[in-house]
Chains A and B, each alone.
Chain A
Amino acid sequence: MPISLTLFSLAALPFAAALLIAACADRGKALHAMVAAGASALGLALLLSVAGEVLAGVNVAVSAAWVPAIGLDFSLMIDPLGLMFAGLILGIGLLIMIFAHFYLAKGEATGRFFASLMLFQGSMLGIVLSGNILLLLVFWELTSLSSFLLIGFWRDKAEARQGARMALAITGGGGLVLIAGMLMLGIVAGSFDLMTILASAEVVQASPLYPVILVLILIGCFTKSAQFPFHFWLPHAMAAPTPVSAYLHSATMVKAGVFLLARLWPVLAGTDLYTILVAGTGMVTMLLGAWVALFRHDLKAILAYSTISQLGLLVMLLGFSLEAAAIAAVLHILNHAAFKAALFMTAGIVDHETGTRDIRHLGGLAKVMPITAIIGTLAALAMAGIPPLGGFISKEMMLYESLNVSLFGLPWLVPVVATVAATLSVGYSLRFAAHLFFGRPRDPVPHGKAHDPGAGMWAAPAVLVVIAVLLGLMPMLLAGTLVSAVAGAVIGGPAPELGLSLWHGVNLALGMSALAILVGALLLWRHARVLRWSESMRHADAKALFERAMAVTDEAVRKLVVAVHRPSLQRMVFAVLVVVVALVVEGASTAGGGGFTGPRELLPASPVAILAWLLLVAATIAVVSEERQRFRVLVYISVIGLIIALAFVHFSAPDLALTQISVEVVTILLLLLALNLLPKQPKLLSSPSRRLRDGALATVGGLVFGGAAWAMLTRNPNDPISAFHLANSYSGGGGTNVVNVTLVDFRAFDTLGEIIVLGIAGLVIYALLDTTSRGAAGARLRTWQEDMPHSPESHPVMFVMSTRILLPMVLVAGIFIFLRGHNEPGGGFIAGLVVAIAFLLQYLASGFDWTDARRKVGEHVLIGFGVLVAVLTGLGSLAFGANFLSTAFDHFTLPLVGEFELATALLFDLGVFSVVLGAVMLALAQLSHIAQRAARAHAAHEAEMRAEMRRETGAELRPLLPAERPEEPSR
């Protein structure tokens, strides 16, 4: 397989597996675990197939442009550092999947669990394989999200939800900060390509922005890797199932911050600021985590704080900015991944078998679960750094390097802190093993039922412990090449020579190590006393602080939102209109191009035109002033609509006139139907001063827009693109009605968008109306009384008969308008409206039920059909090698009919027709009967209730009174 394909498959594999698992989420957990483990194993095999080349120094990179405009490429690369992390992610991932299969109970949502786990694996792999820092950020955010899902896996537990939310707030928030830092880094370095950035250390460190970049990126790393003061989310993330803790919170996700530090080492490290910030934070975290770990009682909490401490150690080592320290860090990453994942799984096994994780109730388990005891004890000894285990070597190296660093001008500070932290870590490690497996059982209940689990469950930690042991016994053979190559990648230079071994001769580091082990053992011996002393001190509760900070932020945001965003439409509309008017005024005052009135020759107005204008003005004034007479207002509104239609006729726009008139009819029908349910003569609301203010704004707005129209109308147009439409309408589009050809041909893409919007509007209206019969709205509708005088005859014969005779004629007219649209005024829009009016008349005259029963095609079908036809017509042109929505036409002759023309645009127009018809019918027909429908639903419900009660009591009951009569709408 070519190496580029390997890389892409490596990155894609976990996501594909996640999809597959999610797709068969209802199948058994064996299948889920098999897919997850299989994908991990396959990924590991792919990785190993390129490992040789990578370690030999071949830089493997592939790249595909994604969003080139912002420098975002989908580029992957793999170097020794990425290789090691990818190996950890996939290798430990494989073991975790196997462990999880045996750990999770049968009824759990294993599909969701394994899918999230694979999603996480893919995101993590993405981070370590990214060759572009923007891409890296994408995967970084994905790990925060997927870990949120995993920590909160047991949704019904409050602590899981809180832990997940806290982890997301901290790591996600840190991710946002990181984005800012990375963007600045990329801008300073001039590229978002990782390799380019790594090579531009001088530019970056000389930039005045360097401190800002550094701090921002460090915040991202420190939040992810649980460094002080962001460490507190990690213990709360322990609410996750143990396999998740073992995977995310020991071996992978929390190491992402360490990885990024190592990744950006060449470009960021080496300055005093870097050393102080990174090594200082690492030291504090290391000390704090180790101290707290000594006094926790929950097994997973002990491990969580020890992880914080060990991560602090890694961060501190990287902060030293020394080559040898980088080697120590790399080796310790390997060690820590091995023993910490094993320890978490041990804790999981103990929890699984005894039912408790409280170390105060456990003890002496070595007798009943010897295999687990061996695994757990060895792993704990590795964590304590006891020779001959792997942890010893990296700890020795750490202690040795600490002697070479002087922080804040104090040469003794780092070695002392390192020794104290090492002492504490010996203490908590030994306590973990000793109090868990040895001594006498403290509580007979969990001890009594405990036994070793099946091999499936202990196999995974056993493998890891063997590795942890071998890393101590034969470090050079097992990891020499890898560590040297990775260290080379971290420092951005050639792979350093190194000699890893248990025995370094007698030196100061050995003395410190021995002291640490001695005092650590002492701590275990006197643990009870130290614990009492620790508990007597006051502790800051990070969770409470976090919650309080969240509450304060929440309140502040709430106040801000309420202050700027009052739930008043009037205020917002007023603000918007003021801005719009001001913008127009500002634009007009700065625009050049001569005075207010342009040079265009004006058309004289006929008396009829002046009369129409007077009517328009009078109707508008009437609409505004008669606000309590709502029915009358509708009449005025239709006068305005008609005058505008007349204006269209007069100004050479027959298509617009037809459209305007038909839209006017349906709009008025719509408003009438709505008004039926609304208050007819509401009280006035606004105060006189409010009216004066609005009136002033309205006057200014009217003057501004009228003035703009005047300025435009008195100028001659610039040479518009319209000439093209006129010239090509017949020869290119096959139609003489240029407006219609523009709609269905030149600008058909626009039209396609418009009919889709119209269809969506229709469907939204349906959705809003269909659910009206429920809830408060339904209750109000059921008690709604007709407040209008009714004609004694609901369906007058004259009206019914005349509309029925009219229907076929209007339909013929509709077809006629539709067909001639390409050459004469008409077309799909107008025909759709006309036909809709014809049908609506039937609803009006004969009632909803009569008409609806005779309806053959549903409105939804019409909308869907219309959009489909339009899209397919457009796609059809692709088959002939033309662009989307190109049209074709030809002339045919038939006997009697003579020559006629067929254009594919007609099909498109059919789609338009269908959508318009469907949307209009959906809106009006649905609206016309919501009251009846609610009443009907109520009646059905009551009948059902009565039948039920009859069944229960066996007696006839008087009709039920409406259960609750909501307040009559008073206004």
Chain B
Amino acid sequence: MNTVSSGSRSERRRWAGWLMRIVRDPTALFGILVLALLVSAALFAPIIAPLDPNKQDLAARLLPPFYAEGGSAEHLLGTDQLGRDVLSRIIHGTRISLTIPLVSVTLAGVFGTAVGLLAGYRGGKTDAFIMRIVDTLFSFPGLLLALTILAVVGPSFWTLAIVLSLRIWMVFARMTRGLVLSAREAEYVEAAELVGASPVRIMLRHIAPNLTAPLLTLAVLESAHVILSEAALSFLGLGIQPPQTSWGLDVAIGRQYVFSAPWLIIFPGLAIAVAVLGINLLAGWLRVAADPQESAKRFAAAADAPSAWSG
């Protein structure tokens, strides 16, 4: 990743090389396909979805999916207690499931990386102070505290996105600091310092390239965590609120009909599971691809980065 490309042709060849590596690896291919499916579902939801996700049809309440007796092709995955089309709701739900992690991880990534750069580069007391705060935040009771904050402040898209980003920025700060510290000890950085390169130049030219791949991998991995947390919080009634649609919210609605209409929980939950699995696989593959030492353990990657939470 540290090679400096000399022109658009070698750049293109490098991209082609990455593409070939993805296609050859079934787990990476699955991850990429899931992500592509999610992104296109989110972008073109109104076109792809057969019906309006909020259109009620009381004559067609609690219809089973197509494979069950009484199911029809009109509502492939059945309808809920208000006659809304489950498939259309799942397709529209991708929008929340992708925008929440996009916003949260971007906020957390930018802030956490900046804090980590500051700690790692300044060192000394600044570093000790910042890392003390980071360590303290790691000991916070994650999901429970998020629930409390959302209950008091009131759940909405933005409060949810901010609360979720507050829970993960430390992961980025800690990783950035570690990377900066080890990069600073590298001989080429010492050499640059000796010949009098400015701190900004050292930062951008010699240290930043070492951060890109691991931080991107971390961002992908954290996106999977954020999707799970958003779903859990929406399920508990403290995340996305109607009339917006979210997979976790739909599972919560279907919970009352768990005995009579299990498809109301099965399919939205399956959507969450496939999305998270795909992103986890992609994160795992990215980590291996960016680090040759990891190649021997290729399948182990997705989950052993310590994270601030689970949920």
The answer to whether A and B assemble together is no
* Chain A residues proximal to chain B, CB less than 8 Å: none
